[in-house]
């Protein structure tokens, strides 16, 4: 216990003892009459009033210190219970005061303008006012008690996304929240320590041999000599993010994601690609041929879904694919130089991944990838919209239907025309016609997440004034 708290307890006890002797002087100074209360304060009555105010003030401070040592449920109970008891007592008294006998009751009726015959509804008005005050105080108590929960939510969201830059987390609140604060600080420290180790270990792997195979020996030699070389290739970004693993520790989290990456990486190699970069929750792979990339993506999603069947926590893989002209050059990595991708066009793949997450699809690929496929390569897909770039260019995006089981794939194939008509109508801002098409899809297959997103966007656009 802090010294300041001990001093406060001693002062409060001293004031309590003094009030026991001085309170009668205070009560005698408040004289009930038929017209209300009259105040006749003498020196001792004023001293008693000051001591009473100080005692209440110190007691409230001690009470708040007591609440800070309690768990949240106990703190709310000890805060609300005395308030509710006082409210109930005053409410009962207000209800019966017009029927009570005695000078004090008469004084209360006169002060509140309550009478058994005249102004009979005034006691209900006072009861209503008392109820409003009680509810405001009740809300204030809950707000103050639960305010640290909002901070906990924000901090945990930032920790899960790796966006927490502060070294020390500040939550505030009582003892229970201080323990949570300490735990979050430990998690934050461990996360940053592991992140620093990953950076020092060069997690971003630049495989020179694979790049040489992609470029050919002559172009690869040009890159090694300091030149920048362009080469068309198909990129695959496999996003292995999840939403339901916040109960895991950082180490468990890392190991869990790594177990999925160990499945994905060999599949990339099997389909003649190579992993260029390992992220915390996904990989970036490069393929020379679009067909290999598409087939690899289908296999990855099926393999992850098979693994999910034996897992308590599941991951929903999202694969984004784009065929672009890549720039290869020498990349500085601390004390060594390696050949790697230096193209800024990788942002296209990042934007496709954002759309993939937004419309809740599993696998999206660009029009350039579709055009790069052999004519004999057949698979089911549907048009899902355009990606707008900063230079006013639009890239058409398509969703592969091969990643769904046959029963769902057959439904989506039958509804493809209605879905694509809705998307094209949405592109030209014909929201009414687009909405009708997406309604058609959802009536036949309510679980089509992309149609659901588009339908809601149509409703939202139609509500806005033209």
**pLDDT(200) > 50:** no
Residue at which a domain ends, from 160, 175, 190 = 175
Q: Does 113 share its domain with 261?
A: no
pLDDT of amino acid 252: 67
In a domain, 443, yes or no: no
Could you tell me the CATH number of the domain that includes residue 368?
Answer: 3.30.70.1230
Residues 6+ apart with CB under 8 A from 189: 167
Q: Does 62 share its domain with 155?
A: yes
pLDDT of amino acid 419: 96
**pLDDT(130) > 70:** yes
Q: Does 251 share its domain with 398?
A: yes
Question: How many domains does one find in the chain?
Answer: 2
User: 441: helix, coil or strand?
Assistant: helix
Mean pLDDT throughout 299-322? Answer: 87
- Closest Cα partner for 134 from 175, 73, 80? 80
pLDDT, tens digit, 9 for 90 and up, residues 206-250: 566 777 777 777 777 777 777 788 888 999 999 887 655 556 666
Percent of the chain as helix, strand, coil, to the nearest 5: 60, 15, 25
Mean pLDDT throughout 117-142? Answer: 80
In a domain, 184, yes or no: no
Q: Does 130 share its domain with 231?
A: no
User: 355: helix, coil or strand?
Assistant: helix
Residue at which a domain ends, from 140, 175, 210 = 175
Q: Does 213 share its domain with 100?
A: no
Q: Does 207 share its domain with 328?
A: yes
What number of H helices and E strands is found in the chain? 16, 10
Cα dihedral sign, 225-226-231-237:
positive
From the number of C-beta atoms within 10 Å of its C-beta (0-12, 13-18, 19+), residue 250 rates as middle
Q: Does 216 share its domain with 349?
A: yes
Dihedral class, residue 388 (left if φ above 0, else alpha if ψ from -120 to 50, else beta): beta
Q: Does 271 share its domain with 307?
A: yes
- pTM of this structure: 0.55
Mean pLDDT throughout 380-391? Answer: 87
Q: Does 98 share its domain with 59?
A: yes
Q: Does 229 share its domain with 118?
A: no
Q: Does 355 share its domain with 217?
A: yes
In a domain, 410, yes or no: no
Range of the domain at 243: 202-403
pLDDT of amino acid 52: 87
Give the pLDDT band of residue 160 (cuts 50, 70, 90): low
- Classify each residue of 76-97 as buried b or exposed e, where b means 16 or more C-beta atoms within 10 Å of its C-beta: beebbeeeeeebeeeeeebeeb
pLDDT of amino acid 297: 96
């Amino acid at each position: 216990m802090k010294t300041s708290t001990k001093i406060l307890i001693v002062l409060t006890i001293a004031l309590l003892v003094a009030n026991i002797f001085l309170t009668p002087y205070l009560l005698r100074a408040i004289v009930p009459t038929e017209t209300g209360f009259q105040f006749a304060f003498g020196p001792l009555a004023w001293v008693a009033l000051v001591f009473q105010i100080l005692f209440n003030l110190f007691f409230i401070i001690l009470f708040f210190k007591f609440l800070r040592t309690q768990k949240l449920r106990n703190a709310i109970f000890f805060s609300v219970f005395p308030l509710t008891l006082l409210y109930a007592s005053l409410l009962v008294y207000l209800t019966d005061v017009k029927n009570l006998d005695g000078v004090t009751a008469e004084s209360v009726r006169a002060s509140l303008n309550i009478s058994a015959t005249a102004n009979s509804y005034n006691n209900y008005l006072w009861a209503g006012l008392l109820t409003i005050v009680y509810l405001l105080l009740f809300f204030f108590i809950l707000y103050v008690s639960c305010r640290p929960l909002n901070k906990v939510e924000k901090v945990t969201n930032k920790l899960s996304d790796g966006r927490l830059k502060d070294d020390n987390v500040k939550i505030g609140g009582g003892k229970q929240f201080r323990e949570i604060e300490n735990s979050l600080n430990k998690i934050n420290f461990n996360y940053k320590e592991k992140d620093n180790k990953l950076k020092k270990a060069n997690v971003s792997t630049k495989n020179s041999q694979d790049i040489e195979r992609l470029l050919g020996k002559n172009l690869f030699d040009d890159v090694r000599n300091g030149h920048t070389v362009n080469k068309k290739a198909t990129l695959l970004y496999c996003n292995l993010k999840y939403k339901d693993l916040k109960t895991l520790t950082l180490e468990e989290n890392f190991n869990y994601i790594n177990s999925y990456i160990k499945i994905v990486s060999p599949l990339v190699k099997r389909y003649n690609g190579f992993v260029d970069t390992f992220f915390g929750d996904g990989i970036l792979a490069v393929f020379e041929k679009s067909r290999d990339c598409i087939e690899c993506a289908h296999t990855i999603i099926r393999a992850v879904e098979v693994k999910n069947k034996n897992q308590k926590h599941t991951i929903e893989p999202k694969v984004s694919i784009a065929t672009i002209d890549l720039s290869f050059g020498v990349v500085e990595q601390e004390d060594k130089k390696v050949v790697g991708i230096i193209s800024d066009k990788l942002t296209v793949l990042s934007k496709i991944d954002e759309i993939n997450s937004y419309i809740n699809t599993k696998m999206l690929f660009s029009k350039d990838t579709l055009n790069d496929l052999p004519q004999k390569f057949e698979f089911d897909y549907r048009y899902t919209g355009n990606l707008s770039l900063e230079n006013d260019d639009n890239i058409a995006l398509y969703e592969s239907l091969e990643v769904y089981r046959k029963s769902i794939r057959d439904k989506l194939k039958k509804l493809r025309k209605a879905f694509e008509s809705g998307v094209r109508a949405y592109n030209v801002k014909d929201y009414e016609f687009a909405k009708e098409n997406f309604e058609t899809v959802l009536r036949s297959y309510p679980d089509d997440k992309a149609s659901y997103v588009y339908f809601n966007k149509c409703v939202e656009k139609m509500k806005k004034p033209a």
